[in-house]
Amino acid sequence: MPLIYDHILKPTFFAFDAEAMHHLFNGVGEVLGRYGAARWATRAACRPVHDPVLATELAGIKLEHPLGVGAGFDKEGREIPILKEVGFAYAEVGTVTNLPYEGNPKPRLWRLPEDRALVVNYGLRSTGAPAMEPRFASYRRRGRWNIPVGISVAKSNKPGLSGEAGLEDLTTAFKTMEPFADYMTVNVSCPNTGDGEQYCKNPAMYREVLNRLDALQPIKPVFFKISPDLTSDQLLHLMQDTDGYAWAKGFVLTNLTHDRSGLKSKNLERAKSGGVSGPRLKGLAEQSLAVAYKNGGHRFQFIGCGGIDSVEDAYRRIRLGATALQIVTSLIYNGPLWPSRLMRGLAAKLRADGFKNVNEAVGVDIK
Cβ–Cβ under 8 Å, residues 314 and 308: yes
Residue 87 lies in a domain: yes
Q: What pTM does this model have?
A: 0.94
Residue 113 lies in a domain: yes
Q: How do the residues of the chain divide into helix, strand and coil, expressed in percent and rounded to 5?
A: 45, 15, 35
* Phi-psi group of 224: left, alpha or beta (phi > 0 → left; psi -120 to 50 → alpha; rest → beta): beta
Residue 367 lies in a domain: no
Tally of domains within the chain: 1
Residue 290 lies in a domain: yes
Q: Look at the chain and count its residues.
A: 367
Instruction: Measure the CA dihedral 98/326/254/184, to 10°.
Output: 40
Domain of 228, in residue numbers? 2-361
Residue 56 lies in a domain: yes
CA 60 – CA 303 distance, rounded (Å): 14
Residue 72 lies in a domain: yes
CA 89 – CA 313 distance, rounded (Å): 18
Residue 241 lies in a domain: yes
Residue 366 lies in a domain: no
Q: What's the CATH code of the domain at 51?
A: 3.20.20.70
How do the pLDDT tens digits run along the chain, 367 residues long? Answer: 566 777 678 888 888 888 888 888 899 999 999 999 999 999 999 999 999 999 999 999 999 999 999 999 999 999 999 999 999 999 999 899 999 988 888 888 989 989 999 998 888 889 999 999 999 999 998 888 999 999 999 999 887 778 888 899 999 999 999 999 999 999 998 766 666 678 888 889 999 999 999 999 999 999 999 999 999 999 999 999 999 999 999 999 999 888 888 888 887 778 777 888 988 899 999 999 999 999 999 999 999 999 999 999 999 999 999 999 999 999 999 999 999 999 999 999 999 999 999 999 999 999 7
